Amino acid sequence: MKTKRGAISKDLPKLRSAQIQLLERLCNAISVSGGEGEVREIILEQVKPYADEIKIDALGNVLVTRKGIVRRGDTRRLRVMLAAHMDEVGFMIVNDEGEGIFRFGVVGGIDSRQLPGHAVKVGTDHIPAVIGAKPVHLVEDSDLKHVFPIDDLRIDAGPGNGKGGKIKVGDWATFAIPFKRIGPSLRAKALDDRVGVASLIELVKHAPANIDLLAAFTVQEEVGLRGAGVAAYAFDPDMAIVLDCTPANDLPDWHGEENIHYNTHLGAGPAIYIADHATLSDPRLVRFFIETAEVQGIPYQLRQPGGGSTDAGAIHRQRTGIPSISISVPTRYPHTAASIARFSDWQNTFSLVYTSLSQLTFDVLVGER
Amino acid sequence: MKELMPFLKEMVSIAGLSGYETPIRQLVEETWRPLTDELHVSRLGSLHGLQKGEAPKGSGSCHSIAFATHMDAIGLMVTGVVEGFLRVTEVGGLDPRVLLGQPVVVHGRENLLGVVVQPPANLLPNMGPDTTVSVEHLLVDTGLLPNQVSRLVHTGDLVSYAQEPLELGDDYLAGHTLDNRVSIAALTYCLELLRKNRHAWDVWAVATVQEEETMAGALTSTYDLRPKIAVAVDVTFAKGPGVSDYRAFSLGKGITLGWGPNIHPTLHKMVKELADKLEIPCHLDPLPHRSGTDAYGMQIVAEGVPTVVIGIPLRYMHTPVEMVAIKDIQRAGRLMAEFAMQLEPEFVVELTEK
Amino acid sequence: MKSLIQKLVEIPGPSGYEMQIRAAVQVEIEPFVSEVKIDPLGNLIAHKGAASRGLKIMVAAHMDEIGIMVTHVDENGFIRFTNIGGVYLRTCIGGRVRFLNGTVGVIGIERTDNRSEVPPVEKMFIDIGAAHRKDCPVRVGDVAAFDRPFLDMGDRLVAKAMDDRIGVVVLIETLRQLKKTPHQLYFVFSAQEEVGTRGAITAAYALEPDLGLAVDVTSTGDTPKGVKMDVSLGKGPAIKVRDTGMLSDPRVVDWMVRITQKAHIPYQYEVLESGSTDARSIQIARAGVPSGCLSVPCRYIHTPSEMVDYSDVQNAVRLLLELLSGEDKPF
């Protein structure tokens, strides 16, 4: 499968301040698994002028179609599904204990050590609150070695938000750190997967004409890849590409030795998945993306095979099987209050996906898996 | 109208472990036959009963709403016969600490009475007076001689609880398998109410199989019936000794409505408003992750189905002495019927952002 | 049949990378089937039998085996890896692996102060004899299977990947010997079973069978102070009642017992408390597929020396032939 150089780069859309501002809006929104409304509204506003079809399904996935143009000789276009998940990890208020103190449940995989001492925001009005922690003066030395038991932690909105106030059981909450551009980096909560969502919005706006672009902005990825499967079933595509984030564990080793469990490196470009816990990427697609990156001179890396999962886990098992792959932006500290990604990795991920889409033909799936 | 207390007692006296639901299905089939227009059994043994809605003029078909109540029970399965004693494993999830001394029925070539026993410590590895025994160390003693047992029981045979149901006054019942036979009772009550009233939508009453093990029934019945709305009716935790936090609700003081990713927010709001209007006490059950009910399976079938979870509080869940308030069963049944009745023919479930 | 078993177990084919074993199976079955297809997940699906007075039956045995995938090649040419499927790390130490491109390597471990504990996979590495990263013919993402030659002990056969190449052989032999059938049969040599019975999901969805039957291995309880299980080597194929992923349809279990008894084939009831098979995915396809599993008892599953009894294998073939060619149906 040969890829062409040169002709594509002129048309390649660039990510500039408008896209960064959109990413800021997306990252600052609250959309925890099961309550993705705020991000969904931003997406709808952005894609409505461009979409041929928009549907919101039973779970709240936003399914957007942009039809391509049939070329001479083809009876139909290649149907390519792209997925980015709208939801983030966060919290749900589960009990009102009065005087502004609320018990909360953790939604998605958050290390409980990341919780105490943080600012959070609650509900559609983004009401500010905190997850407090016992003052160190009052902590026994022996307890310093132990994790704060999660059952002891509470969200505190201040006594003014007591019973009958604005916060209700069932409201969702997230960390409150605001999006910020810092030099070459982007710092925010929920870069996972607002970066993917932002990329997918751009792809919808600049959809290549050679394919039918089936964009799924999915729900509930963080609680078991729940939205992606039904979206894939509805689209019934020829293949799927998932745009997500993956950890960059590329920090220094304590002993000064080579870090061999980095997963990905920040600054090394889009991370192509060969295997994670939920999906063995279709080897034909892996080869295609690697070749495209090499021919086009786009930096890329192979995400270390192993744990983790993306929407591809649910997508590839739908119907009679859908060849799938994930391409992620490396991100340090996902699922914490403040994650960090490089702007260049985001741009290169977008470039790789856009370029690859423009060159996709039915030939990519010829031959056995 | 069927009397709930005797109906419940009849239901929990019939076996129907996950994967082997035929006996309970036959009883439910008989009960639903006069209440439905069509009744059939799915490929995996779930029961599907249809009460047809009134199709709007000009169109041939109605939307359908499915109420799912799982009919399978938890129990044990024989893994080996050793010197006349039976080794067992769990079917569904249970706490082995409540098994000691329990009367059971062994469903071999004949039904045999047995008791679950804990061997003396000296016959077990690493046991002290304070350690608990896992299921693999427990045995079932049928009181029969080894050669009798070998003839009548083999690996794979089922063992169910034999605890008789106990009426605790007029209003409360204790027994095993109230999870989830109470919901079948509620659904039956709902069908009786619906029979006397008009409804625009088709109503599917689905007694699913294997909820306690694989959700195979929820997944496959939903694929088969493709309802536009799916309601899972199951038990939820009732407050009681040792269970008092936000996850539990007072017994007899009303039913619950789940809230979280497994529940469609628009449907939740509709059901809640209806419950308030009907003065049916209905509490919000926060479910940040999965609901632990058939709704978890139903929601992601095919293109997805909007789901709702109605909970009937139950004390001591998954023990042989579960306890329920009859009033809560009636509340659930009534809410289900009223909800089905108020569905407009052209109603489409949509997300309405706040 | 022994030479076919040897041929197939020695081919490397970890989950997701079944190409070589699939090609070998295809060669074996092509003379006996009317149609062969490969689906998007890599399943090999063969069709036999056009009669319609019976059922549409899907019979599945998985081609893939557990293995490893490269996660990093260090500057000295040592390879770090992760597992594909349920690999017991204690079987890795001193073990050998064979990559798809033929490269062979040895598994070593970092120094440990506690010799009696099994080190985590992060402390293991593969040595293929390279001195530098640039000399290493293996890259991140490459896969390998464990490497151990087939051993014929007479009654007992030992190899890696008996799980489930022995099931694959049972299907091939059945295909060879099947003369007539009232059913429409689909023999599925499935992919990606060891990572979650994934291939069976899509194959069952595509075929929409009336009945599903997996052919896989199951554990035994007949080794010293082993797991307490009522299955032994040499006592016949096992009829699965349940495992951790599913409960076999009682009608299918009764049918299998009935046929076995009629044909005077020895059999055992199986309740497996650790592990599952393709049958669990087949059972929940679409509107449901009543399913069961015919198991070949096997000792030391997921080690490089899995052991089966040859008479059990032969009886499994006999049983499968009886099930598929007779007029007696489960429903």
Chain B contact residues (CB < 8 Å to A): 245-247, 259-265, 284, 286, 288-290, 299-306, 349-351, 353-354
Cβ–Cβ under 8 Å, residues B315 and B169? no
Neighbours of chain C (3+ CB pairs under 8 A): A, B
Would you call A86 an interface residue with chain B, using a CB distance cutoff of 8 Å?
no
Query: Over pLDDT 90: what percentage of chain C?
Result: 96
Q: Looking at residue A166, what DSSP letter applies? A: S
Q: Report yes or no: B142 and B106 within 8 Å, Cβ to Cβ.
A: yes
Please tell me which residue, B93 or C49, carries the higher pLDDT value: B93
Q: Give the closest-approach CA distance of B22 to chain C in angstroms.
A: 10
Mean pLDDT score of chain B: 94
Gap from B234 CA to chain C (nearest CA, Å): 21
Closest residue to A58, CB basis, from B261, B349, B353? B349
For residue A119, the model assigns a pLDDT of 96
pLDDT for position A288: 97
pLDDT above 90 covers a percentage of chain A that reads 84
Q: Work out the average pLDDT over B73-89.
A: 96
**Nearest-CB residue to B354 (from A37, A106, A230):** A37
Contact partners, residue B338, CB within 8 Å, separation at least 6: B193, B274, B278
Q: Assign B59 a pLDDT band (cuts: 50, 70, 90).
A: low
How far is residue A131's CA from residue A134's CA, in Å, rounded to a whole number? 10
Does residue A321 sit at the C interface (CB-CB below 8 Å)?
yes
The answer to whether the CB atoms of A107 and B288 lie below 8 A apart is: yes
Instruction: List the single residue in A with minimal CA-CA distance to C82.
Output: A306
> Which fold is adopted by the domain B4-73+176-341?
Aminopeptidase (3.40.630)
DSSP conformation class of A297: T
- Checking if the pLDDT of B226 tops 70, the result is yes
**Across the strands, what pairs with B161?**
B104
Q: CB C69 to CB A305 under 8 A?
A: yes
pLDDT band at A72 (very low <50, low <70, confident <90, very high): confident
Q: What are phi and psi of C260, to 5 degrees?
A: -60, -45
Nearest neighbour of A58 by CB, restricted to B246, B261, B306:
B306
Note whether A160 and A204 are same-domain residues: no
Q: Is residue A182 part of a domain?
A: no
What does DSSP say about strands C143-146 and C67-73: parallel, antiparallel, or unpaired?
Answer: antiparallel
| Residues of chain B with C-beta less than 8 angstroms from the C-beta of C273 | 79, 89, 136
Task: Check whether residue A19 and residue A157 sit in a common domain.
Answer: no
Mode of pairing for the β-strands spanning C211-218 and C56-62: parallel
Complex confidence, ipTM: 0.93
Does A338 lie in the same domain as A255?
yes
CATH number at residue A156: 2.40.30.40
How does pLDDT run across A125-160, given as a tens digit for each residue?
999 999 998 888 888 888 888 888 888 999 999 988
Looking at the structure, do residues A128 and A141 belong to the same domain, yes or no?
yes
Dihedral angle, C-alpha C248, C254, C256, C260, nearest 10 °: 150
More confident of the two residues B173 and A8 = B173
Judge: B261–A106 Cβ closer than 8 Å, yes or no: no
Residue spans per domain, chain B: 4-73+176-341, 75-161
Binding partners of A (≥3 Cβ pairs within 8 A): B, C
Q: Residue A4 falls within a domain, yes or no?
A: no
B300·A234 Cβ contact <8 A = no
Catalytic residue among C193, C194, C270, C306: C193
Among A175, A204, A233, identify where a domain stops. Answer: A175
Q: Is the pLDDT of residue A2 over 50?
A: no
- Is residue C290 within 8 angstroms of chain B, CB to CB? yes
Identify whether residues A278 and A219 lie together within a single domain.
Answer: yes
Average pLDDT over residues B128-151: 91
Kindly list the residues from chain C whose CB atom is less than 8 angstroms away from the CB atom of residue B20.
247, 250
CA distance C277 to C218: 9
* pLDDT(B130) > 80: no
Do residues A69 and A210 share a domain? yes
- Residues A84 and A107 both lie in one domain: no
> Is C197 an interface residue toward A (CB < 8 Å)?
no
pLDDT band at B60 (very low <50, low <70, confident <90, very high): low
A72-86, A316-330, B335-349, C317-331 — which is least confidently predicted?
Answer: A72-86
- Domains assigned to chain C: 2-65+149-325 (3.40.630.10), 67-146 (2.40.30.40)
Residue C49, pLDDT score: 83
CB contact under 8 A, C16 and A304: no
Are B219 and C284 within 8 A, CB to CB? yes
Nearest-Cα distance to chain A for B288, in Å, is: 6
Task: Give the H/E segment covering residue B285.
Answer: strand B282-286
| pLDDT value for B354 | 45
A230 with B302: Cβ contact below 8 A: yes
pLDDT in tens, A316-355: 999 999 999 999 999 999 999 999 999 999 999 999 999 9
Q: What is the mean pLDDT of residues C144-164?
A: 96
Helix and strand totals (H; E) in chain B: 8, 17
Q: What is the mean pLDDT of residues C149-162?
A: 97
Q: Which residues, 6 or more positions from C106, have their beta carbon under 8 angstroms from its beta carbon?
A: C94, C95, C96, C97, C126, C127, C128
Q: How far is B194 from chain A (nearest CA, A)?
A: 26
Domain co-membership, A194 together with A171: no
pLDDT value of residue A13: 87
Dump pLDDT digits (tens) for C99-115.
999 999 999 999 888 88
CATH of the domain at A227: 3.40.630.10
The reply to whether A75 and A107 lie within a common domain is no
Tokens of B257: 């409505």
CA distance B139 to chain C (A): 13
Q: Was domain B75-161 assigned CATH 3.55.40.20?
A: no
Q: Which residues of C touch B156 (CB under 8 A)?
A: 241-242, 253, 269-271
Q: Give the residue from A151, A175, A199 where a domain finishes.
A: A175
Q: Does B77 touch chain C (CB under 8 A)?
A: yes
Question: Which letter, b or e, does each residue of A117-151 get, where b requires 16 or more Cβ atoms within 10 Å of its Cβ?
Answer: ebebbbbeebbebbbeeeeeeeeeeeeeeeebeee
Is A221 a known active-site residue?
Answer: yes
In the prediction, which pLDDT does B353 show?
A: 61
Contact with chain C for residue A323, Cβ under 8 A: yes
- Shortest Cα–Cα distance, C285 to chain A (Å): 9
Residue B305 main-chain phi, psi, to 5 deg = -135, 135
Mean confidence (pLDDT) of chain C = 96
Answer yes or no: is pLDDT of A289 > 50.
yes
Contacts of C288 in chain B (CB under 8 A): 42-44, 46, 216, 220-221, 223-224
- Identify whether residues A78 and A98 lie together within a single domain: no
pLDDT above 90: percentage of residues in chain B: 88
Selection from A276, A342, A269, A340 nearest residue A313 by Cα: A276
pLDDT band at residue A9 using 50, 70 and 90 as cut-offs: low
Q: Give me the percent of chain A exceeding a pLDDT of 70.
A: 96
Q: Identify all chain B residues contacting C229, using CB atoms and an 8 Å cutoff.
A: 79-80
Q: How many domains does chain A have?
A: 2
Arithmetic mean of pLDDT, C211-240: 97
- Cα distance between residue A237 and residue B74, in whole Å: 40
| Percentage of chain C lying above the pLDDT 70 cut | 100
**Chain segment B100-121, per-residue pLDDT in tens:** 999 999 999 999 999 999 998 8
More confident residue, B344 or A3: B344
What pLDDT is attached to residue A257?
87
CA distance B251 to B276: 19
C331 touching chain B per CB within 8 A: no
Q: What's the whole-model pTM score?
A: 0.94
Q: Do A165 and A217 lie in a common domain?
A: no
pLDDT of residue A179: 98
- List, in sequence order, every residue forming a beta bridge with C106; answer none if it has no partner: C96, C127
Residue span of the structural domain in which A302 resides = 9-88+189-365
Residue A162's pLDDT is 65
Among A24, A36, A88, A221, the active-site one is A221
**Can you tell me the mean pLDDT for C78-99?**
96
Confidence at B242, pLDDT banded by 50, 70, 90: confident
CA distance B44 to chain C (A): 6
The 3-state secondary structure of chain C reads: CHHHHHHHHCCCCECCCCHHHHHHHHHHHHHHCCEEEECCCCCEEEEECCCCCCCEEEEEEECCECEEEEEEECCCCCEEEEEECCCCHHHCCCCEEEECCCCEEEEEECCCCCCCCCCCHHHEEEECCCCCHHHCCCCCCCEEEECCCCEECCCEEEECCHHHHHHHHHHHHHHHHCCCCCCEEEEEEECCCCCCCHHHHHHHHHHCCCEEEEEEEECCCCCCCCCCCCCCCCCCCEEEEECCCCECCHHHHHHHHHHHHHCCCCCEEEECCCCCCCHHHHHCCCCCCCEEEEEEECECCCCCCEEEEHHHHHHHHHHHHHHHHCCCCCC
Q: Please name the residue that has the structure tokens 């408390």.
A: C273
pLDDT computed for residue A45 by the predictor: 98
Query: A203-233 pLDDT, tens per residue?
Result: 999 999 999 999 999 999 999 999 999 999 9
> Does the residue A253 lie in any domain?
yes
Asked whether residue A3 is domain-assigned, the answer is no
Q: Does residue A144 fall inside a structural domain? A: yes
CB contact under 8 A, B299 and A59: yes
Instruction: Among B21, B79, B221, pick the best mutation site for testing chain C contact (most C Cβ within 10 A).
Output: B79
Cβ contact B44–C249 (<8 Å): yes
Give SS3 for A94: strand
Residue of C nearest to B301 (CA): C286
In a domain, A141, yes or no: yes
Q: Which contiguous run of DSSP H or E holds residue B275?
A: helix B265-277
- B137 and C CB contact within 8 Å: no
Distance from chain centroid for Cα C15: 11
Q: CB-based contact (8 Å) between C261 and chain B? A: no
Alpha-carbon distance A325 to nearest alpha carbon in chain C (angstroms): 13
pLDDT at residue C51, rounded to an integer: 72
- Residues C172-211 have pLDDT tens digits of 999 999 999 999 999 999 999 999 999 999 999 999 999 9
Q: How far apart, in whole angstroms, are the C-alpha atoms of residue C50 and residue A314?
A: 34
Q: Among A116, A145, A175, identify where a domain stops.
A: A175
pLDDT band at A11 (very low <50, low <70, confident <90, very high): confident
Nearest neighbour of A280 by CB, restricted to C195, C201, C206: C195
Strands A78-85 and A211-218: parallel
So what's the pLDDT on residue B2? 77
The answer to whether B79 contacts C230, with C-beta atoms less than 8 Å apart, is yes
